[in-house]
Amino acid sequence: MPSVVGLLEQRELGARRRVDELREAADRIQAELAVAEREWKEWAIACSRVGEVLAPGDAGGQDQAPAEKTAPTAEEWTGRTSQVPTAAKSKSQVPVWREGLAWSVLSVDYQRILQALADRGRLHQGPLSCQEMAATFGMDVVPARVEALRSKAKRLVARGWLAERQPGRFTLAAGVAGPRGGS
């Protein structure tokens, strides 16, 4: 009759092998997913660029009509951001908010911040900190990511899109409405 310890060791060995196999499969799938997300993001950027080029408005960017998005981005479809680094958007300026200005004039990162705060406001959950934003977006809550979000949020405050009534706690500014703009 085999010993109990021997049987337990056999079961542990079998479970460890299964975990190793699953980790290998997960690593392979993660690598494939990263490539697919990168390709998807490139196509989303291409659609966005074509939309910017075809959008009505003057070349100086002053008093231009609110542009509608031409296609959803990979983040909008999946609801999360990939960890794939991308080049900075050439038009990543944040315009001063005014009545009727659509969210689509902002880059996707800024739109995600506004959407998270709009959702919080709609659910009456109050202001959001940058650490909470990072967690909401599925990012690692590390100083570099939090500070990048803080920089974006502060820029949105300075341009009238957000309000910071308490230090480090952000909400939508009065009058800023849903993604289509208006009030």
Res. 11 pLDDT band, cuts 50 70 90: very high
Among residues 87, 106, 140, which one ends one of the domains? 87
pTM of the entire predicted model: 0.48
Shared domain check, 164 and 116:
yes
Q: Is 34 left (phi over 0), alpha (psi -120 to 50) or beta?
A: alpha
- Mark whether 75 and 132 lie in a shared domain: no
Mean residue pLDDT across the chain: 79
CA 45, CA 82: separation in Å to the nearest integer?
14
User: Per-residue pLDDT for 77 more than 60?
Assistant: no
Residue-wise pLDDT tens digits, 108-167? 889 999 999 998 888 888 899 999 999 988 888 899 889 999 999 999 999 999 999 989
* 147 and 177 inside one domain: yes
pLDDT of res. 150: 93
The dihedral over CA atoms of 62, 55, 91, 99, expressed in degrees to the nearest 10, equals 50
- The neighbouring-strand residues paired with 172 are 162
Regarding whether 50 and 100 lie in a shared domain, the answer is no
Tell which of 62, 87, 112 closes a domain: 87
Q: What pLDDT was estimated at residue 169?
A: 94
E strand or H helix at 166, and its extent?
Answer: strand 162-166
Whether residue 83 sits in one domain with residue 8:
yes
Nearest-angstrom CA–CA distance, 169 and 163: 8
**pLDDT at residue 62 tops 80:** no
Regarding whether 1 and 45 lie in a shared domain, the answer is yes
Query: Looking at the 3D structure of the chain, how many domains does it have?
Result: 2
**Do 102 and 63 reside in the same domain of the chain?**
no
**C-alpha 78: how far from chain center:** 10
**Are both 76 and 104 inside the same structural domain?**
no
Q: Which domain CATH number covers 142? A: 1.10.10.10
Same domain assignment for residues 17 and 1: yes
Please tell me whether residues 134 and 72 are part of one structural domain: no
Note whether 103 and 153 are same-domain residues. yes
Please say which residue of 57, 87, 117 terminates a domain.
87
Host domain of residue 46: 1-87
Which candidate, 31, 51, 32, 53, places its Cα nearest to that of 43? 51
